[in-house]
Amino acid sequence: MSRILLVSSNITTDPFPVYPLGMAVVASALAGAGHTVDQFDFLMAGESEEAFRDRITTFAPDFVCMSLRNLDNCDSLTATAYPVVAKRLVEVVRETRPVPVIIGGSAFSILPEELLAFTGADYGVVGEGERLVCQLVADLAEGRTSVRILRNEGLLTGPEMISPLFSSELVEYYLKHSGMINLQTKRGCAHGCIYCSYPSLEGNRYRLREPAEVVDDMARAKLEHGADSYFFTDAVFNDDGGHYLAVVEEMLRRETSFRWCCYVRPEGIGRTEIALMKRAGMYAAELGTDAACDRTLRGLGKGFTFADALAVNRAFVAERVPCAHFVMFGGPGETLETVAEGLANLEQLENTVVFAFTGLRILPDTPLHTLAVREGVLAQDTPLHKPAFYHSPLVDKESMNAMILDAFQGRRDRFFPPEASNRVRSTMLRFGYRGLLWDSLVQFPKTPATPSV
């Protein structure tokens, strides 16, 4: 068996530091296969190359497995590329203990050939890593020839998904800095947003974990590491089939005391479901609204209207559960007229927080990439490991940004540009605040709405 050092290269803290769940799942698979594993988080280490060198020296791995979670911060105004971080960490391995480096993660899976060449890693894993990494390590340890990039031949089923191996030092760090750790109840996404990579990464249908296993993971993390707050990282928590309600009901059946939040599609969910989720411990939600008027929602392929988003927002307010909307301006069909319409629509979203972005990150093999090439926004062969953004040719970027700034001016519940929220978060952290940003900024009416039945 081998000694394997797993490394999370993610350094983004926007909108909050995120526990490296993918690394924990792969670590669990490798440990289950009999390997000795250690987990190193470059963010937790204060982005210290010296700390990374020390871990390599003391652990003496036979292989280093590196996760690349994000390509960049998805902010067209302050674009920051993260593959350069992974490239440098690969160089540190070369300088310290020249063992094979295997790279994977969601960002790598989007651009595998390009990123393998750019980072200088030896091998890459595309897609779900828990099975492929075990296979690759076994082949290399036994001297069998292997291709440089391994790809999944088929997606894992729900029962095949394994529980993460949480690290005590990482749990302690993330509970201190973000107030939560991550879990999944399912993988995949059944929706067709034109900019999104989830369907290509995780499949276009939901693969569901057993509700009891999800709650077991929560209970185990609390027992072993003291974790009692979670973020469900499913692409969409409230799936049409109602699996999310089965997870919620399992928490209620077992009378758990966890706090949790999730991504919610602002459609097909109302006060009854939100009240049930609140009873089970949901304390906040992030709404994937993404655009602010019906024309731009259609341009993104969202499949719902702004009226749907408004109704869901009102349901959250009625149940007094804080929520936040993340909205992108400048997508297909955007004009200064739709910007004005969208800003007027956002005024209707009361007792909530809105984070605005301009421009859409262009990813390969998405309808947005095809559209961008057709409209001349970028060339077909443009390298995409560096940030590239789509802005509607029908809108003037400077005028659009000025309109958003003017509409949000003086509002403590509206954030643009995106880095404005980071400044507020830094201030709150200095005062000992932990957790999401919006759950403390949302202010509800003094008189609660009539309880749901």
Domain CATH number, residue 21: 3.40.50.280
Of 151, 168, 196, the one marking the end of a domain is: 151
Contact 78, 419 (CB under 8 A): yes
Checking if the pLDDT of 431 tops 70, the result is no
Question: Do 147 and 270 belong together in one domain?
Answer: no
Amino acid 419: pLDDT: 79
How far apart are alpha carbons 11 and 28 in whole angstroms?
22
Predicted confidence at residue 73, as pLDDT, reads 86
Cβ-count burial 144-175 (b if 16+ within 10 Å, e if not)? eeeeebbeeeebbebeebbbbbbbeebbebbb
Q: What share of the chain is helix, strand, coil (3-state, %, to 5)?
A: 40, 15, 45
Whether residue 434 sits in one domain with residue 289: yes
Same domain? For 18 and 136 the reply is yes
Pull the structure tokens for residue 131: 């099975």
- Using CA atoms, how far apart are residues 16 and 179, in angstroms rounded to an integer? 9
Tokens representing residue 214 in the block: 């999800």
Query: What pLDDT, in 10s, does the model give residues 244-272?
Result: 999 999 999 999 999 999 999 999 999 99
Residue 366 in this model has a pLDDT that exceeds 50: yes
User: What's the start-to-end Cα distance of the chain, in Å?
Assistant: 57
**Average pLDDT for 270-299:** 97
Measure the CA–CA gap between 309 and 305, rounded to whole angstroms: 7
Place of tokens 């499913």: 234
- CA dihedral sign of residues 73, 75, 78, 84: positive
Nearest of 206, 361, 199 to residue 290 by alpha carbon: 361
Q: Quick check: 89 and 19 in contact, CB under 8 A?
A: no
141 & 276 share domain: no
Q: Calculate mean pLDDT across residues 164-173.
A: 97
Among residues 135, 151, 167, the one where a domain terminates is 151
pLDDT at 160: 95
275 plus 414 within the same structural domain:
yes
Query: Is 206 among the domain residues?
Result: no
What is the predicted pLDDT for the residue at 448? Answer: 56
pLDDT one-digit tens code per residue, 136-163: 999 998 888 778 999 988 899 999 999 9
Mean pLDDT of the 265-284 span: 97
Residue 233, Cβ density class (10 Å: 0-12 exposed, 13-18 middle, ≥19 buried): middle
Q: What is the pLDDT of residue 80?
A: 87
Per residue in 311-361, pLDDT (tens digit) is 999 999 999 999 999 999 999 999 999 999 999 999 999 999 999 999 999
Average pLDDT over residues 219-224: 97
Tell me the per-residue pLDDT of 169-180, one tens digit each, with 9 for 90 and over: 999 999 988 889
Q: Is the pLDDT of residue 9 over 60?
A: yes
pLDDT digits (tens, 9 = 90+) for 29-83: 999 999 999 999 999 999 999 999 999 999 999 999 999 999 998 889 888 899 9
Looking at residue 360, what is its pLDDT? 96
Distance, C-alpha 92 to centroid of its chain: 27
CATH at residue 324: 3.30.750.200
Distance separating alpha carbons of residues 164 and 152, to the nearest angstrom: 20
Confidence band for 430, pLDDT divided at 50, 70 and 90: low
User: Cα(109)–Cα(34) distance, rounded to whole angstroms?
Assistant: 26
So what's the pLDDT on residue 235? 95
* pLDDT exceeds cutoff 80 at 427: no
Q: pLDDT confidence of 451, banded at 50, 70, 90?
A: low
How many separate domains does the chain show?
2
Question: Rounded to an integer, what distance in angstroms lies between the CA atom of residue 78 and that of residue 57?
Answer: 36
Residue with tokens 């709405």: 449
Of 263, 264, 344, 328, the residue nearest 296 (C-alpha): 328
SS3 category, 169: helix
**Band (449; pLDDT cuts 50, 70, 90):** low
pLDDT of residue 74: 86
- Residue 8, classed as helix, strand or coil, is strand
251 inside domain: no
* 30/1 Cα distance (integer angstroms): 10
Residue 344 maps to a domain: yes
Please check whether residue 110 is in contact with residue 126, taking contact to mean a CB–CB distance below 8 angstroms: no
Is position 291 within any domain? yes
pLDDT of residue 450: 56
Would you place residue 410 in the very low, low, confident or very high pLDDT band (cuts 50, 70, 90)?
A: very high
Are residues 143 and 292 part of one domain?
A: no
Higher-scoring residue by pLDDT: 102, 16: 102
Q: Which of 134, 151, 168 is the last residue of a domain?
A: 151
What's the DSSP call for residue 94?
Answer: H
Enclosing domain of residue 379:
256-441
Q: What is the mean pLDDT of residues 403-431?
A: 83
Q: What is the pLDDT of residue 152?
A: 85
Quick check: is 304 in a domain? yes
Q: Is residue 401 part of a domain?
A: yes
Contacts of 423 (CB under 8 A, 6+ apart): none
Residue 287 in domain: yes
Question: CB-hemisphere CA count at 13 Å for 154?
Answer: 4
pLDDT tens string 121-139: 999 999 999 999 999 999 9
The 3-state DSSP class for residue 415 equals strand
Torsion of CA 381, 385, 387, 389, to 10 degrees: 40
Average predicted confidence (pLDDT) for the chain: 93
pLDDT of residue 453: 44
342 is written with which tokens?
């969208």
Q: Is residue 166 within 8 Å of 24, Cβ to Cβ?
A: yes
DSSP H helices in 120-160? 129-141
36 inside domain: yes
Q: What dihedral angle (degrees, nearest 10) is formed by the CA atoms of 71, 74, 79, 82?
A: -20
What is the DSSP secondary-structure string of 26-58?
Answer: HHHHHHHTT-EEEEEETTTTTT-HHHHHHHHHH
Helix (H, G, I), strand (E, B) or coil at 383: coil
Residue indicated by tokens 């993260």: 82
